[in-house]
């Protein structure tokens, strides 16, 4: 069918034509925003899920909800190998600028700027990836200790105070939080802890891979009282059906029930894959409704597209020994796998795989769902590995 009106949108962060199955998370976010704005206690929301489940899309939607409620909001990503300081400083700067708009002199916003300048003077020296440079008055003694766990709370509290003085509320929205180190995470948690103790109208939304939960717990044991971790998982059959059917119907087309069942079985309900199969089945179909045979003939195309992008970008970042480890896992199946079983499969001692396992966790390729267990963070990655191994032979 016509490519020009193909509604499906496979791609990192691409807004789906229908955001299926996420009502609960969005309701929770809406309540959190509403309560924070009214100075009521609310837990920060940290969306946790595997690759391609729609975390970025949800954060974008939450950003939109914040806008609708009159928030000043900043959405940022904390990428691998970038310091929290480099990400947070420009975000806070943009928030203060938004708060400081208007005619009235806003003393708290001016002060927040001075505190940010104090912090910037310290982090510019300490981290080589900080690009922000702010000339002007500083606030000596605030956010300039060089200790992240002291300075970030100073910064966030003054930001919250600035918002409060203007009768506004602010939201910091951070993606890929699993890449923070423990000190950075701890600083963020301590900052939000202070903000909530002072009932300031500032809230944090975050998203990350499952290792985010352990990271926050290790950084500060009280994190669980401050943060909620709603899980974004694969969609149920009913939600997957909506994700496929609603966009097709908007274009006057449809999927048959067996076609939906087939796509669901192949994708296990993972949102990225639903978009990819939806997209290719649409292209392949001569006419509506799209049936199961069309899905079958579109499957090689969908897999090829995924192998070239979704899977490949992750695989290409790995060292040979990391690839070997993942190969060992893939040979055992979807997982989770006992760490000892993987080592056994690789014919090495379990202790010797420690470093490579740790670096794969740090790169966000695997995580530990329970002590001694290892799983892929990328759904269906075992199938990709087996395909690429077969292609090599």
Ligand X SMILES: Nc1ncnc2c1ncn2[C@@H]1O[C@H](COP(=O)(O)OP(=O)(O)OP(=O)(O)O)[C@@H](O)[C@H]1O
Which residue, among 74, 76, 14, has the nearest Cα to 279 in the 3D structure? 14
Please state the closest distance from residue 326 (CB atom) to ligand X, in A.
Answer: 17
Q: Which does 49 bind (CB under 5 to 8 A by kind): Mg ion, ligand X, none?
A: ligand X
Please state the closest distance from residue 57 (CB atom) to Mg ion, in A.
Answer: 8
Q: Which is nearer to Mg ion, 191 or 206 (CB)?
A: 206
Q: Which of 1, 33, 37, 57 binds ligand X (CB under 6 A)?
A: 57
Return d(Cα 200, Cα 33) in angstroms, integer.
12
Q: Which is nearer to Mg ion, 12 or 107 (CB)?
A: 12
The burial class, CB within 10 Å (0-12 / 13-18 / 19+), for 27 is: exposed
* Neighbour count for residue 275 (Cβ, 10 Å): 25
Tokens of 184: 């950075």
Q: Which is nearer to Mg ion, 235 or 294 (CB)?
A: 235
Q: Which is nearer to Mg ion, 119 or 205 (CB)?
A: 205
Q: Which of 52, 191, 230, 328 binds ligand X (CB under 6 A)?
A: 52
The CA angle 371-373-379, to the nearest 5 degrees, is 130
Residue showing the smallest CB distance to Mg ion in the complex: 56
Q: Which is nearer to Mg ion, 310 or 325 (CB)?
A: 310
Binding track, positions 191-230, relative to ligand X; x by CB under 6 A? ----------------------------------------
Please state the closest distance from residue 56 (CB atom) to ligand X, in A.
Answer: 3
Tell whether residue 20 is a contact of ligand X (CB under 6 A): yes
Q: Which of 56, 138, 178, 186 binds ligand X (CB under 6 A)?
A: 56
Please state the closest distance from residue 346 (CB atom) to ligand X, in A.
Answer: 27
Q: Which of 1, 19, 120, 213 binds ligand X (CB under 6 A)?
A: 19
Q: Which is nearer to ligand X, 87 or 130 (CB)?
A: 87
Q: Where does this chain touch ligand X (CB under 6 A) — which range of 28-36, 53-61, 64-72, 367-375?
A: 53-61
Q: Which is nearer to ligand X, 55 or 241 (CB)?
A: 55
Please state the closest distance from residue 204 (CB atom) to ligand X, in A.
Answer: 17
* Residues in contact with 279: Cβ distance below 8 Å, sequence separation at least 6, in sequence order: 6, 8, 9, 10, 302, 305
Question: Would you tell me which residues interact with Mg ion (CB under 5 A)?
Answer: 55-56
Q: Which of 16, 153, 206, 335 binds ligand X (CB under 6 A)?
A: 16
Tokens of 353: 């795989």
Q: Which is nearer to ligand X, 119 or 381 (CB)?
A: 381
Return d(Cα 271, Cα 64) in angstroms, integer.
20
Q: Which is nearer to Mg ion, 56 or 245 (CB)?
A: 56
Tell whether residue 247 is a contact of ligand X (CB under 6 A): no
* Residues in contact with 131: Cβ distance below 8 Å, sequence separation at least 6, in sequence order: 86, 90
Which residues within the stretch 257-316 sit at the binding site for ligand X (CB under 6 A)?
271-272, 274-275
Tokens of 96: 């203060």
Please state the closest distance from residue 55 (CB atom) to Mg ion, in A.
Answer: 5
DSSP β-bridge partners for residue 170: 72, 202
Q: Largest Cα–Cα distance of the chain, in whole Å?
A: 71
Please state the closest distance from residue 178 (CB atom) to Mg ion, in A.
Answer: 11
Please state the closest distance from residue 173 (CB atom) to Mg ion, in A.
Answer: 12
Tell whether residue 243 is a contact of ligand X (CB under 6 A): yes
Backbone angles phi, psi at 383, to 5 degrees: -65, -40
Q: Which is nearer to ligand X, 24 or 131 (CB)?
A: 24
Please state the closest distance from residue 15 (CB atom) to ligand X, in A.
Answer: 6
**Footprint on this chain of ligand X (rule: CB under 6 A):** 9-14, 16, 19-22, 49, 51-57, 243, 271-272, 274-275
């Amino acid at each position: 069918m016509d490519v020009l009106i193909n509604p499906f949108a496979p791609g990192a962060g691409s807004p789906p034509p229908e955001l299926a199955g996420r009502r609960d998370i969005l309701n929770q976010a809406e309540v959190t925003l509403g309560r924070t704005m009214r100075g009521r206690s609310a837990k920060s929301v940290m969306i946790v899920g595997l690759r391609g489940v729609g975390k970025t899309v949800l954060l974008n939607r939450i950003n939109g909800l914040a806008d609708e409620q009159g928030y000043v909001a900043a959405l940022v990503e904390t990428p691998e190998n970038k310091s929290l300081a480099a990400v947070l400083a420009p975000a806070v700067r943009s928030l203060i600028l938004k708060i400081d708009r208007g005619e009235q002199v806003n003393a708290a916003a001016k002060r927040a700027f001075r505190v940010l300048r104090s912090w910037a003077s310290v982090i510019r020296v300490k981290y080589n990836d900080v690009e922000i440079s702010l000339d002007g008055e500083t606030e000596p003694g605030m956010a300039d200790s060089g200790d992240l766990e002291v300075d970030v709370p100073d910064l966030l509290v003054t930001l919250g105070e600035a918002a409060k003085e203007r009768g506004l509320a602010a939201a910091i929205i951070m993606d890929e939080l699993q890449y923070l180190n423990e000190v950075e995470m701890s600083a963020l948690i301590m900052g939000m802890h202070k903000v909530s103790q002072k009932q300031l109208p500032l809230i944090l939304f975050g998203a990350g891979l499952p290792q985010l939960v352990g990271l926050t717990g290790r950084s500060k044991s009280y994190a669980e009282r401050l943060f909620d971790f709603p899980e974004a998982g694969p969609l149920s059959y009913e939600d997957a059906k909506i994700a496929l059917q609603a966009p097709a119907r908007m274009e006057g087309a449809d999927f048959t029930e067996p076609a939906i069942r087939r796509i669901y079985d192949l994708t296990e309900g993972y949102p990225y894959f639903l978009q990819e199969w939806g997209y290719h089945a649409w292209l392949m179909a001569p006419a509506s409704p799209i049936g199961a045979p069309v899905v079958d003939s579109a499957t090689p195309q969908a897999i090829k597209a995924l192998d070239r992008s979704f899977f490949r970008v992750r695989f290409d970042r790995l060292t040979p020994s990391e690839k070997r480890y993942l190969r060992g896992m893939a040979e055992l199946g979807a997982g989770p796998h006992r760490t000892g079983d993987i080592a056994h499969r690789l014919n090495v001692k379990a202790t010797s795989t420690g470093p490579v396992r740790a670096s794969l966790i740090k790169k966000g390729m695997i995580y530990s769902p329970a002590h001694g267990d290892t799983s892929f963070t990328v759904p269906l990655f075992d199938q990709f590995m087996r395909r690429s191994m077969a292609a090599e032979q």
